[in-house]
Amino acid sequence: MNPIRIELPTPFDVGPVNVYLFTEPEPALVDTGVDSDDSWAALQAGLAAHGLAVADLQRVVITHAHVDHLGAAARLTAHGDAQIYIADLGYEWLVAPKRKWAQRIAFYRDYFLAPCGLSPQAQQMVLAYMTYAAESSRPVDPERITTFTVGEQLAMGGLDWEVLHMPGHASHQTCFYQPATRQFISADMLLHKAPTPIVEEPPDGETRRPSLPLLLDSFTVLEELDIAIAYPGHGPLIHNADELIRQQRQRLQSRKQEALDHIRQGCQTVIELVNTMYAHYPENARIAGLWMVVGYLDLLKAEGVVEEQEIGGVWRYVVKGD
Ligand SMILES: [Zn+2]
């Protein structure tokens, strides 16, 4: 059987999130929505439309450890016997979310926001949001979790789905591909708008891994799959995956070029680029813009076009050879 899309509300700019239901051979759910009463009510209604209740769910499969995708995992385990499945890559976020958030917050506070040139108030706003997410996260009992690994097959809806690792939006993003029916559960890897390359804290002792170059590599892997239909984490089903990827690549390349032009015209810091390239966003909604700009700069640095210098604790960018 094919996955059934159920749309659940979130309080975030991204809008509602999709979870996917398989009713047979055993009720299974892909992703959970956020941990809110609104989302819970919408989930119950979505299940009831297929004659099911939360307590009927046998397994819940998590695509990636972002709060709109796994936020309700703990609540689900409290209301039934479902086992939660997650890739080993994202396991820590499920059992110890507060510790993982603390690491990310420390990285943003000590190594990322100030060098981007954010004002102390803007830094506080980002950190306050992250602290709120950390405080409202709830861990899942390890006994209720089964991990899977990349390359493994997951049985859902009576079919075997290949687990693929697709970093870029999240370093631990997994997607599920069903070759016989050419179905692809893309989560936040393939969306109607290019996914945001979220900046993550590096593993211990390493430097930050640039997210947008990873995302482009994942697009390359995606382009090699034969996809008839994709089930995204947000928005309606996707029937033109190849065309969508082509458009998103083009858009990313042209925005990267715009960033380069702005640097030539005198934008020096990340925040100056954000305020120029995302002037159409309200100021408190520019965090996504911050991640995109850092992504464009990561690409330009990797191409050797732009050089980064740290002056007074702030990264400054110059075009090489200018
Ligand atoms: Zn996500």
Assigned CATH for 254-319? 1.10.10.10
pLDDT(36) > 80: yes
Residues 276-312 have pLDDT tens digits of 999 888 777 778 899 999 999 999 999 999 999 999 9
| pLDDT confidence of residue 101 | 97
Compute the average pLDDT of residues 174-187: 98
| pLDDT confidence of residue 161 | 98
Q: Which CATH class is domain 4-96+139-239?
A: alpha beta
Question: Ligand 1 center to residue 57 CA distance, Å?
Answer: 23
* The pTM of the whole model exceeds 0.85: yes
Question: Ligand 1 center to residue 20 CA distance, Å?
Answer: 15
Percent over 90 (pLDDT), the chain = 94
Compute the average pLDDT of residues 6-31: 96
Question: Ligand 1 center to residue 157 CA distance, Å?
Answer: 23
| pLDDT confidence of residue 117 | 97
| pLDDT confidence of residue 257 | 98
Question: Ligand 1 center to residue 249 CA distance, Å?
Answer: 19
Question: Ligand 1 center to residue 63 CA distance, Å?
Answer: 9
Question: Ligand 1 center to residue 301 CA distance, Å?
Answer: 25
**pLDDT band with cut points at 50, 70 and 90 for residue 204:** confident
Residues 126-149 have pLDDT tens digits of 999 999 999 999 999 999 999 999
H or E stretch covering 40: helix 37-48
Compute the average pLDDT of residues 57-70: 97
Question: Ligand 1 center to residue 35 CA distance, Å?
Answer: 15
**pLDDT band with cut points at 50, 70 and 90 for residue 27:** very high
Domain coordinates in residue numbering, the chain: 4-96+139-239, 97-135, 254-319
Question: Ligand 1 center to residue 169 CA distance, Å?
Answer: 7
H or E stretch covering 130: helix 120-136
